[in-house]
Structure 1
């Protein structure tokens, strides 16, 4: 690759106690950091204390937490969202983080790494595609999905059969980098207007 690596924000969407998200995110981050065309930053929503409910005006602490995430999202040229599936959808904390921001997502690509039971989090991904489309983001087709997550990872937090997942991660990152570079160039040539 010529030029600078693409800044990608890896967003860990679950904030529940006992969550498996950090294990999945850590594995994916390792895949991304092997590449010289990616500059990865991990944003764990549990660390940022993003509130799960923004139906009313958030208090001062919640506003500070959300505001702290804003420049990190703005600096990214692409995103990867790591999400479980809760009740056929994605976590409320992730929805709050997405909804609090707007221009940060516009004309930037979003990829997904999902995990869960039989469906592997894919129903959550399908809901997220609709949400990001409304925010003028471009979701990429290829995903990494872990079905029956608890049985797929070993005690060290690595997939027991890494081959298919590494191949899926490579495809996702290849596509995301392509879209990220294309959209960065397009926005520089002509600012995006929503």
Structure 2
């Protein structure tokens, strides 16, 4: 069986963002496992406009070329780790917009969340879990929450996230769950595709 392909989505595009540090850290931990393929997706590389489609993307194809590129990339992945900065008790607008610019491509896939901020991005992650359910994704229970003191130590004091044992443990637990659910859902999607082919024959 091929290794599951996991996308790490950087959910902030602002200058001076903290997101690059946790993205590199979780990427390195994920790659070291050896049982998954990992790719970092930076929303800076997908400058989609605010969602203004004629209809919902479950039924109406987008005409925006950047959004089409984004959908193709999302479709080619088996699961996701979403990095969530918390702005005013919620996720960033650019991240919500990116979620909205796909639909079928997210369906029946597992997603994990890595939050950071005042309470570890927990309030943003809580909202994102609801969005994920509406997109027919399977948000896993375990996540990573980088609290403000750890974030400041990494951002301002030169410490590396890999130096924090509690964060490394949280990352390992999260990836264990994500990989399990990704494999299970890959199997289920493959069975659905096979059944559809038999029905169409």
Structure 1 and Structure 2 fold alike (TM over 0.5) = yes
Q: Residue 39 of structure 1 corresponds to which residue in structure 2?
A: 37
**Structure 2 CA distance for aligned equivalents of residues 94 and 157 of structure 1:** 27
TM-score normalized by the length of structure 2:
0.85
For the pair 1:177 / 2:179, whether they are aligned, the reply is yes
Answer whether contact 2:162 2:168 (CA < 8 A) is retained.
Answer: no
**Structure 2 CA distance for aligned equivalents of residues 35 and 19 of structure 1:** 27
How many residue pairs match? The answer is 185
Q: Residue 159 of structure 1 corresponds to which residue in structure 2?
A: 161
Q: Residue 49 of structure 1 corresponds to which residue in structure 2?
A: 47
Larger radius of gyration: 2
Say which SS state the counterpart of residue 103 (structure 1) adopts.
Answer: coil
Answer whether contact 1:111 1:139 (CA < 8 A) is retained.
Answer: yes
Aligned-pair CA distance for 1:162: 2.1
Q: Residue 132 of structure 2 corresponds to which residue in structure 1?
A: 132
Say which SS state the counterpart of residue 145 (structure 1) adopts.
Answer: strand
Answer whether contact 2:153 2:159 (CA < 8 A) is retained.
Answer: no
TM-score normalized by the length of structure 1:
0.88
Inter-CA distance 70–109: structure 2 relative to 1 (3 Å threshold): same
**Structure 2 CA distance for aligned equivalents of residues 15 and 159 of structure 1:** 21
Q: Residue 11 of structure 2 corresponds to which residue in structure 1?
A: 13
Q: Name the structure with the higher strand share.
A: 1
Say which SS state the counterpart of residue 112 (structure 1) adopts.
Answer: strand
- Unmatched tracts of structure 2, length 5 or more: 55-62, 197-201
Answer whether contact 1:146 1:152 (CA < 8 A) is retained.
Answer: no
Aligned-pair CA distance for 1:116: 0.7
Answer whether contact 1:23 1:157 (CA < 8 A) is retained.
Answer: no
Say which SS state the counterpart of residue 165 (structure 1) adopts.
Answer: helix
**Structure 1 CA distance for aligned equivalents of residues 45 and 139 of structure 2:** 25
The 5 Å alignment of 1:1-194 reads: 3-51=1-49, 53-55=50-52, 63-117=64-118, 119-148=119-148, 149-153=150-154, 158-159=160-161, 161-191=163-193
RMSD, aligned α-carbons: 2.1
**Structure 2 CA distance for aligned equivalents of residues 167 and 41 of structure 1:** 21
**Structure 1 CA distance for aligned equivalents of residues 158 and 66 of structure 2:** 31
User: 4+ residue runs of structure 1 moved beyond 4 angstroms?
Assistant: 154-157
